[in-house]
Amino acid sequence: MKKMINLIETDNKGIQAAESYRKIASNIEVANIDGNIKTIMITSTLAGEGKTTSISNVASVMTEKDKKVLLLDFDLRKPTLHKKFNLSNQMGLTDLLLKKDDYKKYIHSVYPNLHVITSGFLPANPSKIINSIAIKELLKKLSINYDYIFIDAPPVMIVSDPITISTYTDAVIFTIAYAQTDKDLAKKSVEALKNVNANIIGVIFNKTPPIKGNKYYYKYY
């Protein structure tokens, strides 16, 4: 319990942020009323809009609901999840997929119900891994053992990875950073996701000024 609150406070200076993350987790639960959402990818328009921060905190507070959660770093261009949780990235997702190894060897248990798999080594051609059957099979296996698998991904306007990943994940959360994200580019990004029938279950409005109340808003389409 302590660990996840620390994570939130470090990044957002306050309990208010924790409450906003809890609301996001609750809204995910509502979106998942029929129980068909296991894998949830986060993306955004461009770099630095708060994807990794948001998904880490949402995954953390989700464990308060007695859910078993896995956080997967699938940003194979600029992975940072290991830094967020202070973990070694010596062995991660890419190693596990290439060695066809047991995923359990690659789990970091940062909290009893919060497991993390870091990115692993960065391949020269990430698209090969992103398009592989191996990753889809791994996600299927993980879905049996976890209530939620949260997937950190790169931004849509930089690489096509998140578009591809969205085609085999159950849901997508889109992050928009206040006074940072370009409206037209954000629209283009959402269109690109919708074109492949991504199931966008919500948008996180991030970095909003505290004066307006909560730092985070979560909206349904």
Ligand X SMILES: Nc1ncnc2c1ncn2[C@@H]1O[C@H](COP(=O)(O)OP(=O)(O)OP(=O)(O)O)[C@@H](O)[C@H]1O
- Applying CB under 6 A, the residues found at the interface with ligand X are 11-12, 44, 47-53, 75, 78, 80, 155, 206-207, 215
Check binding of 118 to Mg ion (CB under 5 A): no
Write out the two tokens for 109.
């248990």
Residues 201, 198: Cα–Cα separation, whole Å: 9
Taking CB under 5 A as the criterion, the residue among 51, 82, 84, 115 binding Mg ion is: 51
Check binding of 52 to Mg ion (CB under 5 A): yes
Hey, is 174 helix, strand or coil? strand
Write the CA distances from 123 to 82, 119, 128, integer angstroms. 17, 10, 9
Those residues whose C-beta lies under 8 Å from the C-beta of residue 11, and which sit 6 or more positions away, are 17, 53, 57
Nearer to ligand X, 180 or 199 (CB): 180
Options 19-27, 51-59, 60-68, 164-172: segment touching Mg ion (CB under 5 A): 51-59
Nearer to ligand X, 57 or 147 (CB): 57
Those residues whose C-beta lies under 8 Å from the C-beta of residue 208, and which sit 6 or more positions away, are 178, 214, 215, 216, 217
Partner from Mg ion, ligand X, none binding residue 53, C-beta < 5-8 Å depending on class: ligand X
Those residues whose C-beta lies under 8 Å from the C-beta of residue 87, and which sit 6 or more positions away, are 81, 108, 110, 116, 118
Nearer to ligand X, 13 or 136 (CB): 13
Each residue 71-110 as x (binds Mg ion by CB under 5 A) or -, in order, gives ---------x------------------------------
Write out the two tokens for 135.
């990753």
Token pair 């307006």 in the structure block, residue:
212
Number of residue whose CB is nearest Mg ion: 52
Nearest distance from C-beta of residue 36 to ligand X, angstroms = 27
Nearer to Mg ion, 26 or 121 (CB): 121
